Amino acid sequence: MKVIIVDDEPLALEVLETYLTHFPELNLKAKCANAVEAFEALSEGDIDLMFLDIQMPQISGIDFLKSLKNPPKVIFTTAFSNYALEGFELNAVDYLLKPFSLERFTKAVQKFKEIYAKNDKTLSEAEAPDYIFVKADKKLIKLRFEDIFHVEGLKDYVMLHTPNGRIVTLQTMKSLEEKLPSSNFIRVHRSYIVNLNLIELLETNSVTVNKKKIPIGKNYKDELFNVINQKRL
């Protein structure tokens, strides 16, 4: 993960550089004293994260960020708390008020890493094939994800319900769950995985997929409803 620091105070640059040594996964590509240097650093390669001071000569950090067409993720670093609201309106990952401790810096970095991991997973799933092969009756059957209504666990076997009927394959629910993209499928019960895109009806204790009512397990209810709420208009 490529990082740059933008701050007109040499001491602030030094502190941030020292803190970054605690995170070997963050590769410091440049230390910039102003927006002009930062723009040059950004133009030289893909930067994932920018630590950006706000009050700087010539152009402020906020104005600089607004001028960028495709900015990296930003963690603001400033001695002035009155910019916090505007900073978050610009979708900043975090807002560090100087002087900040290594512990507070770590929390900000962790926020960025969680966002980075989530985006990376989404991109990987988007680039991944939209099908899987399952072994049944001594054959490998290609199944598109959109053709899997739901999956039912049967001890050491799983049954995949499709428009062409049921397919039984020897594997566990857990192993199949790991092969199915989380953007399309969700576990709703220890014995059931459903296709999120094909849910027809959601009730307190059940979902309906392809006219079949499937129970929602107590341990899976919160996650299911959280996902459904994110998809609501």
Per-residue pLDDT of 58-70, as tens digits, reads 888 999 999 998 8
Say which residues have a Cβ less than 8 Å from residue 167's Cβ, sequence separation at least 6. Answer: 134, 136, 141, 143, 159, 160
194/98 same-domain check:
no
7/116 same-domain check:
yes
92/150 same-domain check:
no
Per-residue pLDDT of 151-209, as tens digits, reads 999 988 999 999 999 999 999 999 899 889 888 899 999 999 999 999 999 998 999 99
Q: Which of 81, 108, 126 is the last residue of a domain?
A: 126
Say which residues have a Cβ less than 8 Å from residue 25's Cβ, sequence separation at least 6. Answer: 1, 113
Strand order in the sheet with 185-189: 165-170, 157-162, 150-154, 192-195, 185-189
If one counts the domains in the chain, the total is 2
Give the CATH number, domain containing residue 199.
2.40.50.1020
The domain of 194 spans 131-231
Give the CATH number, domain containing residue 26.
3.40.50.2300
148/198 same-domain check:
yes
213/227 same-domain check:
yes
Q: What is the pLDDT of residue 1?
A: 86
Per-residue pLDDT of 73-108, as tens digits, reads 999 998 877 766 666 677 888 889 999 999 999 999
Q: Which of 126, 157, 172 is the last residue of a domain?
A: 126
Q: Is the model's pTM score more than 0.85?
A: no
144/50 same-domain check:
no
Q: Predicted confidence band at 127 (pLDDT cuts at 50, 70, 90)? A: low
